[in-house]
Structure 1
Amino acid sequence: MRIRDLAPAEHDAAIALWHAAGLTRPWNDPRSDLDRALAGPSSTVLVALPDGGAGLLGTVMVGHDGHRGWVYYLAAVERGRGVGRALVAAAETWLAAHVPKVQLMVRAGNEGAAAFYARLGYERSEVTVWQRVIRDDPTCPPPTTLLG
């Protein structure tokens, strides 16, 4: 297996894998997430490919805010073959060049993912994640208003 950055011709295959893995949500456009991840130097999408072959075995989106790294969209075509483990290791290597720690979020009830990350040495963090949608929110002024 080899791991490298996602190529433009693989965008549709990556998104299809995310759908198949149940990682997408109707209110969150995965193509927009992909485009944003590839638009700047603080994030990327890594893919696992078979040695000497074509076709995605898995993906992971990785990025950082200058203090901590984040892992998103970890998906493998088949579980139990080491693809997820290899992608997490590659994501950690990518992040280690930029930040001292990595975090990720697991949806409530996804005990399979929680167990996978625990086996890799990740620990639950006593943090509550809060959010507010700032696009399409009538109470939030457009960015041009805030910037003058």
Structure 2
Amino acid sequence: MGITVGSARADDEAEAVALWHACGLTVAYNDPATDFRFARAGAASDVLVARADDGALVGSVMVGHDGHRGWLYYVAAAPSRQGEGIGRLLVEAGERWLRERGVVKVQLLVRETNTPVIAFYEHLGFEVAPRTVMSKWIDGHD
């Protein structure tokens, strides 16, 4: 496949954010550039990127943990490269990153507008967890 995965560099920000937009992973109330910088700066988080042999950024996963559970965000493969195993490679890289830090459970959230990806995650061994997610805006968002 000719794909390598490693930690994103600061200068990957624009390309990663463009990828997230292209994959429909962004929403108006989250600034993906801020998410990228925040994850790269944290001791318990990172952004991993997949690069083709020619250096093109073809995928990403944001990974982090709270000391108990690991989380995957912005799992993305370039639309023109979907179906090549890049998504699987990135999920596995995220899981490895968590395992190396002693985190034994990984979770992710799928927006109700992105349900076509559920079959992809089920194929990788994820299952729908019977939970109620509650949230509250603490900075004045409506």
> What's the counterpart of residue 54 of structure 1?
55
Give the aligned CA root-mean-square deviation in angstroms: 1.4
> What's the counterpart of residue 133 of structure 1?
137
Question: How far off its partner does 1:108 sit?
Answer: 1.6
> What's the counterpart of residue 84 of structure 2?
81
Q: 2:106 aligns with which of 102, 115, 120?
A: 102
Aligned equivalents of 1:87, 1:112: Cα separation in 2: 18
Question: How far off its partner does 1:39 sit?
Answer: 1.3
- The aligned amino acid for 1:129 is V
Question: How far off its partner does 1:109 sit?
Answer: 4.6
Matched ranges for 1:1-148 at <5 A: 1-51=3-53, 53-77=54-78, 78-98=81-101, 99-136=103-140
The list of structure 1 runs, each at least 4 consecutive aligned residues, that deviate by more than 4 angstroms after superposition, is none
Structure 1 unmatched runs, 5+: 138-148
TM, length-normalised to structure 2? 0.92
TM, length-normalised to structure 1? 0.88
Give the secondary-structure state (helix, strand or coil) at the position aligned to 1:57.
Answer: strand
Percent identity, aligned pairs only? 49
Which structure has more RCO (C-alpha within 8 Å, separation ≥ 6)? 2
- The aligned amino acid for 2:9 is A
Aligned equivalents of 2:10, 2:28: Cα separation in 1: 23
Aligned equivalents of 1:39, 1:129: Cα separation in 2: 26
Aligned equivalents of 2:113, 2:25: Cα separation in 1: 14
